[in-house]
Amino acid sequence: MSTIGFIGLGQMGSPMALNLIKGGHSLRVFDINTSAVEALVEQGATAASSPADAALDAEFVVTMLPNGTLVKNVLFGESGIVESLDKNALLIDMSTIHPFETDALIKQMSDRGFSMMEAPVGRTSDHAVKGELLILAGGTKAQIERAQPLFDCMGSETVDAGGAGKGIRVKIINNYMSIALNALSAEAATLSEAIGLEFETALEVMSGTPAGKGHFTTTWPGKVLAGDLSPAFMVDLAHKDLGIALDLANQVNVPVPCGAASRELYSITRAAGRGRQDWTSVFEQLRVTSGLEAKIK
Ligand code: NAD
């Protein structure tokens, strides 16, 4: 069992810290919100007076904070973690922050001789309470192996994302897609209602199509990911159908910003001469437009 410094006892951090205590670990906790600290002390944690105090004699220090500036401050600011952190300890940042900030923090820590990895989490505070978070671990194999007993207290699944900085990258990409899809879903459901279609009918149909299942696992594997852009469904037709939906939305006064923006990508793809290719070629076109090397000749 380990001594762990834990900093950031919010909606996520508090239940995560509690699950570490339940797992038999000794916790030294710090948060600027003293009532959050007191609640954990009642559960068996020791109160720390600063990040440096929380890190004293700790084998692991976990940070679970709202943003990268705060993570930087608790590491290197006044009474920061590095003032007392043992060179053999492992710092694990579990916050969701900008990946380039993560890269910079890991480098600054490494330059000072400290070991740091990131392990942002997927799922929600309900899962944090149950110890069922998805841990997206970015670090060396040795760091992940060392932290695994802690991850097992806080989560039910750990993904080795493939190296330092990769955990936060997959976290941000996952959130990007699910957050944007939430807005697109709201557009589709609102448009359904505005044109008199029952939501249940839309739900039934879309549960079985790429609209509901997503493209990564349905249309992409046999086409653009396989290097085959022969049309199963043509870009020109997708562009036409999207245009009909946008016209309809306009006629019934439903704003559809996600749909309108996505039409631009189909237009760019057609303008590049891909109108008769498979609709999954929007991916290859966006890659090329972004300066990445073409994969499909
Ligand atoms: P929160 O706002 O509930 O908690 C943040 C905690 O950090 C607060 O208790 C606050 O007092 C403390 N804090 C702020 N500045 C501090 C400082 N300088 N020193 C010590 N403590 C300080 O946020 P949360 O929901 O627990 O989220 C934490 C992180 O987890 C975020 O990066 C968030 O994006 C990520 N996350 C949240 C969820 C979710 O469902 N809430 C899910 C996955 C990931």
Residue 42 and residue 118 in one domain: yes
What average pLDDT does the segment 260-284 reach? 98
90 forms bridges with which residues in the sheet? 60, 115
Q: Please check the confidence at residue 58 and state whether its pLDDT lies above 90.
A: yes
Task: Check pocket membership of 110 for ligand 1, CB cut-off 6 A.
Answer: no
Q: Please check the confidence at residue 98 and state whether its pLDDT lies above 90.
A: yes
Residue 66 lies in a domain: yes
Query: Residue 97's domain is classified under what CATH number?
Result: 3.40.50.720
Residue 253 and residue 227 in one domain: yes
Quickly state the pLDDT bin for 134 (edges 50, 70, 90).
Answer: very high
Q: Please check the confidence at residue 243 and state whether its pLDDT lies above 90.
A: yes
For residue 68, give the nearest of 17, 8, 138 by alpha carbon: 8
First vs last C-alpha separation in the chain: 56
Residue 150 and residue 264 in one domain: no
For residue 223, give the nearest of 276, 269, 278 by alpha carbon: 278
Task: Count the domains in the chain.
Answer: 2
The whole domain housing 280 covers 170-289
Q: What is the pLDDT of residue 266?
A: 98
Residue 66 Cα to ligand 1 midpoint, Å, equals: 4
Task: Check pocket membership of 65 for ligand 1, CB cut-off 6 A.
Answer: yes
* Boundary-marking domain end, from 164, 179, 195: 164
Q: What percent of the chain has pLDDT over 90?
A: 99
Residue 146 and residue 177 in one domain: no
Residue of the CA atom closest to atom 18 of ligand 1: 70
Q: What is the pLDDT of residue 158?
A: 98
Q: Please check the confidence at residue 53 and state whether its pLDDT lies above 90.
A: yes
C-alpha span between 151 and 134 (Å, rounded): 9
Quickly state the pLDDT bin for 297 (edges 50, 70, 90).
Answer: confident
Residue 15 lies in a domain: yes
C-alpha span between 98 and 169 (Å, rounded): 8
Query: Residue 270's domain is classified under what CATH number?
Result: 1.10.1040.10
For residue 169, give the nearest of 223, 106, 212 by alpha carbon: 106
Residue 294 lies in a domain: no
What are the tens digits of pLDDT across the range 64-81?
999 999 999 999 999 999
Residue 131 and residue 13 in one domain: yes
* Boundary-marking domain end, from 164, 180, 208: 164
Q: Please check the confidence at residue 173 and state whether its pLDDT lies above 80.
A: yes
What average pLDDT does the segment 103-123 reach? 98
Helix (H, G, I), strand (E, B), or coil: what is residue 190? helix
Residue 101 and residue 177 in one domain: no
Whether 171 sits among the annotated catalytic residues: the reply is: yes
Residue 182 and residue 254 in one domain: yes
What average pLDDT does the segment 50-63 reach? 98
For residue 21, give the nearest of 37, 49, 41 by alpha carbon: 41
Residue 143 Cα to ligand 1 midpoint, Å, equals: 23
Residue 115 and residue 186 in one domain: no
Residue 111 Cα to ligand 1 midpoint, Å, equals: 27
Query: Which stretches does DSSP call E strand in the chain?
Result: 3-7, 26-30, 46-47, 60-63, 90-93, 115-118, 121-122, 133-137, 155-160
Q: What is the pLDDT of residue 151?
A: 98
DSSP state of 83: G
Q: What is the pLDDT of residue 169?
A: 98
To the question of pTM greater than 0.85 for the whole model, the response is yes
Residue 96 and residue 179 in one domain: no
C-alpha span between 93 and 107 (Å, rounded): 13
What average pLDDT does the segment 183-194 reach? 98
Q: Please check the confidence at residue 252 and state whether its pLDDT lies above 90.
A: yes
Give the residue ranges of DSSP H helices in 77-154: 99-111, 125-130, 141-154
